[in-house]
Amino acid sequence: MIRKAFIAAALLAIAGGAYAATDYPSGYTKCAKEGETCNFSGTRKVAYGKAGTFVYADITGPFVCAASRFPSINVATPRYCSYGAVVTPPTCTATTIGAVINGASTASATVASGASVAFAPTPTSGGSWSWSGCGTSGTSRTQTVFPTASCTATATHTNSCGAVSTRAHTITVTTTPSCPATTITAVINGTQTTSATVNSGAQVAFAPLPSSGGTWSWSGCGTSGTSRTQTVFPTASCTATATHTNSCGTQSTRSHTITVNGTTPPSTPSGTPIGFGRSTTGGAGGTTVTVSTGTQLNQALCGRASVSTPIIIRVNGTINHGNTTKVSGSCDTTATEVELKGISNVTIVGVGTSGVLDQIGLHIRNSSNIIIRNLWIKNVKKSGSPTSNGGDAIGMETTVNNIWIDHNTLEASGGESDGYDSLLDMKAGVTNVTVSYNHYRNSSRAGLIGSSDSDSANTNITFHHNWYENIEQRTPLLRHGLVHSYNNYFSNLSNSDMIHGINSRMGGRILVEGNYFKNSNNPLIASDDSDEPGCWQTRSNYLDSISYDRSVGNGALVVPIISGGQFDSTCSVTVPYSYTLDSAAGLPSGLPGQVGIGKIQ
């Protein structure tokens, strides 16, 4: 019996040792074994562990003693919880707001009616803000208002621990402005007036006064941005409002009323060339011959008394490789293209819509006074089968002068990878050319002027009233020469379909005016494919959904700045002839019906 009592006492001592004094820190009250509830009220510091090893947490009781409530600990189980002193939460003090008005540390200011008032209280970081009064709103720390009556703006700041503070900003508005608004003088198309009547799509230039000081903003009639001068092409009556803010913040406005009469279509095509090719007469006064095959056309050229005898050749049929053979005589012809070589005084003109060159190009070399009108030249290849003319629909090279290319449809069915090159190329000495009322379409390349950076003999080229439809690049690519491009319509299905448009390089100079650019990527540029850029003068163009994915140093030597809806000019360019500039805005609706084959009598 004594032995059994001794064993029981020993076991009781062991059990008691499992919750010994070392299982909770000094000054802490034991409250629970792991898995049991520790009962106390309020928030206290709680220890968790055993045998002198503990971790701590601030816990609000009662709670279940569990490892998940504490940082990790490396000690054997079971573990125990004990609580210590009550935890007193920290005191959160509201942030002091420093009032700042118009840059000065002050809680009050006196201003003129309508003057700018800028609130920018401190602190500048941390917490959140809200506002009321004086026209303030939102959650921005800084607020700018233009009060016309005395008022108080209240800033409310909530800091990171939720304490809220406020600061009042008192604004006294004087009845007599100390800074009067600037008087705006309206100027429309160079005349001091607040209203003007124009044709639909005509250019309207706003240039209000004063010309210096303060800042500008615009609304209405297609105006935008902060430039004092704005150029627009309204197609409906509208009002443009200019807002001027002077140096002390007082604003003034001026309305400009534009009344639009209606749409003015492009001018009627002329029967004689306009521009640099204006002296071209072709075969005027000569014999008229009608042909329907390439062989007959070559026979007409070769049957003249001399290489300069005037002749008018009417094409009434489809010319192709199958009906074209080389002919001898006062000519130098081939079987693979329509060759005008070493001749002059020739007009080739299609009859109605029947004048077609299918997969066979037209080549002009060492020739002068040539007119090419009313033909459909299509699908001329430089690779694949059949090939013709180096893949150019029309190619001109080597001492070619006085040429008129008019009312032709020039077409390919793809780019270089499909076997095609250009629709109209000029190189090695092509001068005094007018290219008018042609329909370029569905080609990678419209054409170049100068085949390399050293090809500098090509100049005096006019492009007007042409439609470039779905053309990727070279409209044109220009090296060295002088070019005039006006009233042309450039359109693509999307900007991504275009590489670049007019590309002026190696000192080339081009006057770009009255053109309409639709869905055009890099429409005017000096690319870095040459060592030197060209330049341009621009005016009265219409920019509709254009884009630039090239920049200076990234594919370009020069990219035009666009201001007031217009390209900037990088040089001055003039031309020595008279012409009528149509409204660019009317080109998309009026020009397509006038270009290409079948549009002349």
**Active-site amino acid positions:** 474
Q: CB of 96 within 8 A of CB of 106?
A: no
Tokens 């309409």 map to which residue?
Answer: 516
Number of H helices, E strands in the chain: 3, 49
Angle at 425 between CA 419 and CA 428, to 5 degrees: 125
- Token pair, residue 301, equals 């050229």
**DSSP string of 309-359, one letter each residue:** S-EEEEEEEEE-GGG-----SSS---SSSEEEES-EEEEEEEEEEEEEEES
Instruction: Please report, for residues 30, 116, 156, 592, the alpha-carbon distance to residue 12 in angstroms, rounded to integers and kept in the order given.
Output: 20, 86, 66, 109
3-state secondary structure 466-511: CEEEEEEECCCEEECCEEEEECCEEECCCHHHCCCCEEEECCCEEE
CA 408 to chain centre: 32
Tokens 């928030």 map to which residue?
Answer: 43
Pairing of strands 344-358, 311-319: parallel
Q: CB of 362 within 8 A of CB of 337?
A: yes
